[in-house]
Amino acid sequence: MKDIPRITLNNGLQMPLLGQGTWNMGDSAAHAAAEVRALQAGIDLGMTLIDTAEMYADGNAERITGQAIAGRRDEIFLVSKVLPHNASKRGTVAACEASLKRLGTDRLDLYLLHWRGSHALAATVEAMQTLVGQGKIRGWGVSNLDTDDMDELRQTPDGDLVQTNQVLYNLSRRGIEFDLLPDSIARGVPVMAYSPIEQGRLLKDAALNSVARRHAATPAQIALAWVIRQPGVIAIPKASTVEHVQQNRACLNFTLSEQDLQELDAAFAPPRRKQALQML
């Protein structure tokens, strides 16, 4: 099995370019055991990057994640996120401590601002740097920030220490390719693509299915292979079953040809102008 390549962040940490998302996990106690097994199966397959957030199922996704990583914390690259209304100087620290408690760990590898709210970026960054100094996080980043927000962030004291920007990116959501993605890559700030298969809505597309048949792959595998084909892009698909995790992991077995890419470009046109950053 091919190892999962890693991306080196600006602070020297190495993050796998294929991981596991937890959005929509933790909503049902009846599904909790299966979700834990799915995350553990992914870890066994080398998908040790796990992304979660205090918002997901009101903290229950973090609890699910905590169960999945129990006894294996040192294997995991763990990411969580603070809600905008908690992202004040003091609120960020308190929210992080609550997340750590739910996750059953003493540290996060990355802590992200989930999206921009009313609190000043300077206050959030100061709190993030406090958490780094306390050893509670190893680095910090942002999510759902567009190019102008990233420019403002970099002009904030210590704002250039941002390690990643997690945004919506998939075949049907290509707007970031016009400016945000190339700018991020040029600055060494990887993009974490959430909803890389558009929560399944991509999977019936005729062009995607045609490429998948050519490779004897599933449409989801081709959609994931497309996302992570370029340097500086990480995908965090969510899977609730072991079988689904295994299928996601196998996306690394497929290399898309120029013909594949041209067909997908014809079906999902790349942007020709600036587009507002999309969110789910």
Question: Tokens 């990643």 belong to which residue?
Answer: 164
Q: What are phi and psi of 241, to 5 degrees?
A: -130, 155
Residue 219 CA, chain-centre distance (Å), reads 20
HSE-CB of 157 using CA atoms within 13 angstroms: 7
Verify whether residue 56 is a known catalytic residue. Answer: yes
Question: Tokens 């904030």 belong to which residue?
Answer: 156
Cα-Cα-Cα-Cα dihedral sign, residues 215, 220, 223, 227: negative
* Beta-carbon contacts of residue 223 (< 8 Å; ≥ 6 apart): 170, 171, 196, 197, 198, 202, 203, 208
Q: How does strand 77-82 pair with strand 49-51?
A: parallel
**Residue 4 in tokens:** 């999962």
Q: What are phi and psi of 234, to 5 degrees?
A: -120, 140
Residue 35 near residue 28, CB atoms below 8 Å: no
Q: Which one is catalytic: 56, 111, 169, 194?
A: 56
- Active site positions, annotated: 56
